[in-house]
Chains A and B, each alone.
Chain A
């Protein structure tokens, strides 16, 4: 039995009125744990945030620029990466 958990893509709606946005990925054994982990990792348990988790393997994607056979067998892992959501601008500098 493999001990490594599948990859999930995480989408967060930061507040009402906005779309869910892809924020990154994580590993979890199942959907319920993926949601919990997403709350901990990506939203820091901010209340009122809506989260979707999707098994990375379930995403089908088009890719206009794709010419590389490298990914062909592994399917369409389009959302393979964090497009991290907005970060407060008042970040201090030394």
Chain B
């Protein structure tokens, strides 16, 4: 069932991320994986890593909530979202790996920090660690899922059949994530003085990392017809965020943006200090036992 093959969930098994894999079958071939003619494969791989790393690293952050959520029902909801994103990451890394000659695990566990292409928003600590709380986590989820939903809705038209299929499947998931975040944003914005204050603080914490989401990277610019230009998403995402914040009685933070580092940011493999620790934890066991099978 679902855990055995990164592409399996594309095949329409609705209960995919639930049942535990029992048959341990070879990767399935139900997804068209041909490369479209004329596409720069290295650029395609780099693009898949960008979108895959966003999902992988954010999933890693979200799963920190497991056993720490405000209520059992919410624990389950956050784990579902983390699982969805992990599923997206596995498909995208697998696609990148088809070009690079590596599997999903080699890409997740054996790349160094400078090789990760995720945006900073995915990696910063927004709680349950000291960098935030449930409000900050919801603020990040709202921004991230609104942006990624807009991105995936355009990516459905990608010339790459795998990206198009991943986007099609991910769309429903992301719509759910965005709705979850929006519901909570409204409840926390409106609930009590404390929740209003915390939710506003959460927005202030993540806002400097919003601008990076819309910066066009040369890889994206080069992949016409395959990649989505994130700059084109800005007004749609702005509209969504403004609507949700207004319904929640929250103030949209000023558009301060985190400065780039010598002109570079996450898409160039230049990260925040949090990233090294995140990777150290995520990768250490895999790297400690070279040649091991899991």
Contacts and interface: CB of A to CB of B under 8 A. Distances in A.
Interface of A: 1, 5, 26-29, 32-33, 36-37, 40-41, 44-47, 88, 92
B77 A36 contact: yes
B71 interface: yes
A12 B18 CA distance: 18
Nearest to A90: B22
A32 B14 CA distance: 23
A36 B22 contact: no
A76 B173 CA distance: 38
A46 B71 contact: no
Contacts of B74: 37
Interface string B88-116: 00000000000000000000000000000
12 contacts: A5-B71, A27-B73, A28-B73, A36-B179, A36-B180, A36-B183, A37-B73, A37-B77, A40-B80, A41-B76, A45-B176, A47-B172
Interface in B160-201: 172, 176, 179-180, 183, 187, 192
B76 A40 contact: yes
A46 B14 contact: yes
A59 to B, nearest CB: 20
B15 interface: yes
Interface string B30-71: 000000000000000000000000000000000000000001
Contacts of B187: 29, 33
B73 A41 contact: yes
Contact of B71 (A27, A45, A88): A27
B15 A33 contact: no
A44 B183 contact: no
A26 B180 CA distance: 17
Nearest to B79: A40
Contact of B73 (A26, A45, A88): A26
A58 B14 CA distance: 33
B130 to A, nearest CB: 23
Contacts of A36: 77, 179-180, 183
A5 B18 CA distance: 27
Contacts of B73: 26-28, 33, 37, 40-41
Contacts of A46: 14-15
A5 B74 CA distance: 12
A46 B13 CA distance: 10
